Amino acid sequence: MNGELLSILEAIERDKGVDREVLIQAIEAAVATAAKKSDGVAEEREAVATLNRKTGRITVVVDGREIDSGHLTRIAAQTAKQVIIQKLREAERDVIFTEFQGRVGDIVAGSVHRFERGDIIIEMGRAEAVLPKNERIPHEEYHQGDQLQGYILEVRKSAKGPSIVLSRTHEGFIRGLFALEVPEISEDIVEIKGIAREAGDRTKIAVFSKDDKVDCVGACVGMRGTRVKNIVRELHGERIDIIRWHERIDEFIGAALSPAKIAEIRPDIETKQAVVVVDDDQLSLAIGKKGQNVRLASKLTGWQLEIKSRAQLAAVIVSVRDVPGIGPTTADRLKEAGVTTLQQLAGMTATQLTEIKGVGEKTAEKLLEAAKQAMAAAEAAQATTVSSAANGETPAKTPEADAPQPPAEAEAPAEPSASAEEPSAPTDQPETPEEPKA
């Protein structure tokens, strides 16, 4: 029996990963407690149990005298069993916590086990993880038994054991998937410089090659797009733009705004703001649906970007905040959608405006009417200025006072998150190359 006990301990250590010494200490404590109860010794009296590491024999000494551990009562033996099981569970939880605490930031795979109050419980071998509802990609649906991958967001202790929290919306999830699919990234030949993501819809990732012989974009895309297709499949169709990172900020901004073709970039190094000029037919493409393209590019580069067409540069630029009848709240909502100027607002339809969060049909009609009146006033002021300049006269101050005044600096359509190195001085206008798009 003694030899069998040691064999059992070795099996538990091998299967559960629990140190055998921890198990031995749990058995000694449980047997000592059971011996005191079986022998009728008071709780304050001393009882010591010792398990021989070589033979497996248990020696019990209660109140200075040795007793036979095989003569424990049934109740005492049951108590010892419960204590051993409890100690084993606690030791196993500690092993799992220690293991996964060091893996925060890794990508793990598992299968859907069950659903609890909107959260998904993922089975990962001997451990379970939770995928909260707010960390799931929108519109994804799962069924019991489905296989999925997740990013270990955090590991914390709870009353039921270690709680492993996964995420599929974190930017680190994209970084981990590319590291798994692209050997050049795991080998540190290709470096991911920045990621801007709107989970479930679109992601922009900037990459850079440390080896001139390795094409960073081609490495991430793979032969016939196989590598990036595997990632898109895991993300259930999320679009991914792979951008080549440039040290020169103007080239980087031009690449980040792809697939739009950029005509000119006017960066301001001190404020980290840039005015991006595009042809009229590229304006909507540069801004993107609901301002998504410029918003992601701004986050990826760490710069505030303002998109202007050539026609807008030729006209009087008026901020929507300076349009009579548009309050600060409405102006903020328009800005979030990428609408920052009067010209952009006037070029929209009521249907397009109602797609913006918080803008209803009546509000859309009021906005268009206010834009129409403001445009008329701005065009009248511009016509007066042009006419006076043509006649060699100095324009009177009254028309300028009546016309809406443009702001000193237009606000960017999205708050940036620093991800690119800042150059030491302004750079010349580059010829923006077209970047491959996954």
The alpha carbon dihedral of 343, 349, 354, 360 has a sign of: positive
Q: Band of the pLDDT at 376, cuts 50, 70, 90? A: confident
What domains lie within the chain, and their CATH numbers?
2-99 (3.30.1480.10), 107-169 (2.40.50.140), 246-316+410-438 (3.30.300.20), 318-409 (1.10.150.20)
Show the tokens assigned to 383: 């016509």
Higher-scoring residue by pLDDT: 162, 276: 276
Residue 72 has pLDDT above 70, yes or no: no
| Cα separation, 203 vs 417, whole angstroms | 14
Query: DSSP states of 25-81 as a string?
Result: HHHHHHHHHHHHHHHT--TTS-EEEEE-TTT--EEEEETTEEE-GGG--HHHHHHHH
Average pLDDT over residues 266-280: 90
pTM equals 0.60
* Higher per-residue confidence, 37 vs 279: 279
Q: Tell me, what's the pLDDT at 414?
A: 37
Residue 170: how many other CB atoms lie within 10 Å: 19
Which of 17-26, 170-179, 268-277, 419-428 ranks highest by mean pLDDT? 170-179
Confidence of residue 110 (pLDDT cuts 50, 70, 90): very high
Backbone angles phi, psi at 141, to 5 degrees: -125, 140
Residue 252 pLDDT class (50, 70, 90 cuts): very high
| Averaged pLDDT, 328-350 | 82
Whole-number percent of the chain with pLDDT over 90: 37
CB 168 within 8 A of CB 151: yes
Assess whether pLDDT exceeds 70 at residue 145.
yes
Q: In which band, very low, low, confident or very high, does the pLDDT at 2 lie, cut at 50, 70 and 90?
A: low
Q: What is the per-residue pLDDT for 424?
A: 35
At 261, the pLDDT band (50, 70, 90 cuts) reads very high
pLDDT at 311: 76
Q: What is the pLDDT of residue 419?
A: 33
Work out the average pLDDT over 342-366: 83
Q: Is the peptide bond before 259 cis (omega within 30 degrees of 0)?
A: yes
The residue among 414 and 197 whose pLDDT is bigger is 197
Q: For residue 132, count CB atoms less than 10 angstroms from its CB and return exposed for 0-12, middle for 13-18, buried for 19 or more.
A: middle
More confident residue, 61 or 379: 61
